[in-house]
Amino acid sequence: MRAFQCDNCSSPAFFENRVCGSCGFRLGFDARDMSLHAVSTDPGTAYRFCANAAYDSCNWLIPANSGERLCAACRHNRTIPDIDLPANLNSWRNYELAKHRLFYSLIKLRLPLANRTEDPEHGLAFDFLAETPGAPVITGHENGVIVMNLKEADDSVRASQRLLLGEPYRTVLGHLRHESGHYYWDRLVADSPRLDTFRELFGDERADYDKALQTHYSSGPAHDWQSRFISAYASSHPWEDFAETWAHYFHIEDTMEMAASFGLPALPFLTGNSSPQLTNAGFGETISRWSSLTVVMNSLNRCMGEADLYPFVLPPPALSRLEFVHDLLGRPSLLGA
């Protein structure tokens, strides 16, 4: 993600903004040029808003002459909750804010993004589901469909889950990035020449998945997970390790791009942060700068009396897995991206 501005008055604007706070123009995001635009309401404008803008859940634009009702991100929704219920509408909006940020990255990285209409077999789809009595909803991914439990968009519910499961960075955006990792493992790694390298780094995904998760939740993570994995949950199974690593890479990608737009990567005051196991020089330099940036982020948070914004330590094996994702995406470096 990067810093934006209103192209009518040049005032600073955020990706999620619907209206410019300075000039009052409606703002919309155009995925074709990855920019925010001040949109005139006059007849003959080149854009119109996604139909979901009517629910204040989307600010993306569609070319005025397009036959589509929904934008490039919203066309991936297979199921949305009953939005006549205010609580459902609010939770769905929270998910959409995060999902659109995910799609910014997916589009920027030029990942395959067919929806279910374009590719019924392999297209990416989202089900945003509300639990009902006797019908729990389990967040997860299966055969290209990402299911999200609506209640996890509630801050209080997510905070309790964060404590219960020992996951310090449990966020709506993190969830979506994680589940997208499962989808892209199927698309980019499974049955590909990369599979042998994946197994060398992450382990054999053919290990019993259900049994691995049962063991994780009943006995806790591997005792030495902090020396080998990016998170406790990553130690449960190679598939979860990849999804956690994928999500973490997107955290880095998004934050480094934003930092670059403010000139912050010019802070290389830490040295020795890259792993000797890394083979991609561009990625090694990125990780060194990232380590410097996280010190700044954490220091600023502590000035406000808050916990560290980035509560992670990246051991060498986890860095090697991040490098695998980096190379999988064909990224030379994230510096100035």
pLDDT band at 144 (very low <50, low <70, confident <90, very high): very high
pLDDT band at 163 (very low <50, low <70, confident <90, very high): low
- Predicted pLDDT at 271: 47
- Predicted pLDDT at 336: 40
Q: Quote helix, strand, coil % in the chain, to nearest 5.
A: 45, 10, 45
Is the domain of 30 the same as that of 141? no
Is the pLDDT confidence value at 265 over 70? no
Is the domain of 79 the same as that of 145? yes
Is the domain of 136 the same as that of 177? yes
Average pLDDT estimate for 314-323:
94
Identify the domain boundary among 188, 209, 235.
188
pLDDT band at 156 (very low <50, low <70, confident <90, very high): confident
Identify the domain boundary among 71, 97, 121.
71
What pLDDT digit, counting tens, does each position of 185-220 carry?
999 999 999 999 999 999 999 999 999 999 998 998
Answer yes or no: are the C-beta atoms of 73 and 99 closer than 8 Å: yes
Is the domain of 51 the same as that of 99? no
Total domains in the chain come to 3
Is the pLDDT confidence value at 142 over 80? yes
- Predicted pLDDT at 214: 94
Tell me which residue range forms the domain holding 281. 193-337
Is the domain of 66 the same as that of 78? no
Identify the domain boundary among 22, 53, 71.
71
Average pLDDT estimate for 258-263:
86
- Predicted pLDDT at 45: 73
Which of 78-87, 154-163, 173-182, 262-271 is the least confident region?
262-271
**Average per-residue pLDDT for the chain:** 88
Is the pLDDT confidence value at 244 over 80? yes
Is the domain of 200 the same as that of 335? yes
Q: From residue 25, give the alpha-carbon distance in Å to each of 31, 45, 55, 268.
A: 19, 13, 18, 39
Answer yes or no: are the C-beta atoms of 158 and 145 closer than 8 Å: no
Which of 48-52, 114-118, 331-335 is the least confident region?
331-335
9: left (phi over 0), alpha (psi -120 to 50) or beta: alpha
Which of 13-27, 144-158, 305-319 is the least confident region?
144-158
Average pLDDT estimate for 285-293:
86
Give the percent of the chain with pLDDT over 70: 88
Q: Which residue has the tokens 């939770």?
A: 91
Is the domain of 235 the same as that of 294? yes
Q: Which residue has the higher pLDDT, 208 or 167?
A: 208
Average pLDDT estimate for 19-32:
92
Is the domain of 67 the same as that of 77? no
Is the domain of 324 the same as that of 219? yes
Query: Which residues make beta-bridge pairs with 48?
Result: 62
Which long-range contacts (C-beta less than 8 Å, at least 24 apart) are formed by 130-135?
A: 130/81, 130/82, 130/85, 130/88, 130/91
Average pLDDT estimate for 96-101:
96
Is the domain of 230 the same as that of 167? no
Is the domain of 209 the same as that of 336? yes
